[in-house]
Structure 1
């Protein structure tokens, strides 16, 4: 039976204040994203005249047309997609193999090995030793230089280990062994099907990391045909390397050049972020069961 409890005026006022604050914070967070989206569909000349856009000013698709005409953008998209898929698959495989043994009580020395993994979160050899190792292994200018050095994240592995500890009961493991399962069958047939929420969260974490990564590519890759999208985006936003993409002549008017650059900048940012914006809603429903359970030991 539900009780109809009347709320006091003070409680209603508090709810109203909280609602206004939440709406205000949401607007502050969302407006930069909306501004980039509106600016990408706006006339570049009007972007300079209207620093605060509430809708596309002078709607046009010329900036996107210029982006679609550029072959390097599509090369970067294909490379980034390849690096993200291969890298995330390796990450999930290694993280599962590391987290599952450390989550089982019968694994002797799991505390020591967990400490070794945690040690790498605070101390590392640095960029130069890592570069020299990749060079000696012959990984420079290959996809493996981008996906193998970071094959496992100690932080993500600890989260997944905690999830296995809290969601995979020891009784289930014991009954599986009584029925004749070995360790690999236990992991493949029982643990993984029950751990899809945390695996989905890890796919999102690792996938976003690979999609946004540009520093490793900048260090290890020299062939432009292997550059990811974010490296091309860096060249455009940081180095202002627009001439080839926009078809700007050296003798052109400076004001017109700047306007073309401004529209291209926003269009490329939207295109680079679009796959992640589409992926996040598909996996967000797993967050409560995945990251929260994995981060709190019951």
Structure 2
């Protein structure tokens, strides 16, 4: 069917707006990349537009020469992997029973779980609980306090309700499957989109986590990458203030491009991981967000 003039104009406007939004979103990331490879003077003077000015990798050399970087990477990978597995396990085991219509007191339990999104105990009570559990200054302090995200659980619950036919679960029950077998053999194989989305949410949350580390960790060998990068940046600033005028100028200059290099170092793993789950992202979040 041939489109009318108004339809074509509407399509052109939508395409133009979409391209404009894409440029607005993508350019800041592109600017960070070219700034990390440019001379500090060019960054400070505003000479950067679309290409690096004066190719420079000294910032990356300074970052990766720091042994703490690799310790931070190792810790963050452990926290992200272990924490995401725990998150997915608890989220699934909570969402599945709440999604079933034959669950006793399902409405009340859903309300009690949702209530935690509006009201919390506060930082000090949570810290006292973690301390009394004896998990401060340990790996568990980074994965246990945030073991379940209520919003993610409700998204997964709604996905189970709206996308998994109840007849399939009833058929599995008639065939002799227990609730756990139904979850493993029927529900989860049909839930790849929402599992991919929730995995991405939790992985990004753990990868960028730093507040819990500030509160619960004292041992530098347990610091995640974000804390290590912050310390490197602060250390570079303090050395610049404490040095002579020539050294201070050089360190301040190099510190400007180091900021951008640190952003790239912290962001690349997630940017590499995202394309593998991108095809599930839209379907999972849209269907899971529908009110059940």
Alignment-derived partner of residue 243 in structure 2? 250
8 Å contact kept, 1:39–1:53: no
Runs ≥4 residues deviating over 6 A = 246-249
8 Å contact kept, 2:240–2:251: no
Alignment-derived partner of residue 19 in structure 2? 23
Once the two structures are TM-superposed, the CA of residue 143 in structure 1 deviates from its matched residue by 1.2
Pick from 258, 261, 264: which aligns with 1:267?
Answer: 261
How large is the RMSD of aligned CA atoms in angstroms? 1.9
8 Å contact kept, 2:72–2:226: yes
Unaligned ranges ≥5, structure 1 = none
| Deviation by residue 1:244-294 (Cα, 9 ceiling, x = unmatched) | 9x9997234322111111121111110100011111111111023211111
8 Å contact kept, 2:35–2:48: no
**126 and 6 in structure 1: CA distance in 2 versus 1, 3 angstrom threshold:** closer
For 1:25 and 1:140, the matched residues in 2 are separated by 44
TM-score when scaled to structure 1? 0.92
Pick from 167, 189, 192: which aligns with 1:193?
Answer: 189
Aligned pair count? Answer: 291
Alignment-derived partner of residue 133 in structure 2? 137
TM-score when scaled to structure 2? 0.94
For 2:138 and 2:71, the matched residues in 1 are separated by 15
Once the two structures are TM-superposed, the CA of residue 204 in structure 1 deviates from its matched residue by 0.2
Unaligned ranges ≥5, structure 2 = none
Once the two structures are TM-superposed, the CA of residue 180 in structure 1 deviates from its matched residue by 1.4
For 1:115 and 1:51, the matched residues in 2 are separated by 55
Alignment-derived partner of residue 104 in structure 2? 108
For 2:25 and 2:188, the matched residues in 1 are separated by 36
For 2:12 and 2:196, the matched residues in 1 are separated by 36
| Deviation by residue 1:118-168 (Cα, 9 ceiling, x = unmatched) | 000000100000001111110110111111111111111111011111122
Once the two structures are TM-superposed, the CA of residue 173 in structure 1 deviates from its matched residue by 1.1
For 2:232 and 2:66, the matched residues in 1 are separated by 12
For 1:23 and 1:191, the matched residues in 2 are separated by 38
For 1:147 and 1:13, the matched residues in 2 are separated by 51
Residues 222-233 of structure 1 mapped to structure 2, 5 A cutoff: 222-233=218-229
For 1:12 and 1:188, the matched residues in 2 are separated by 48
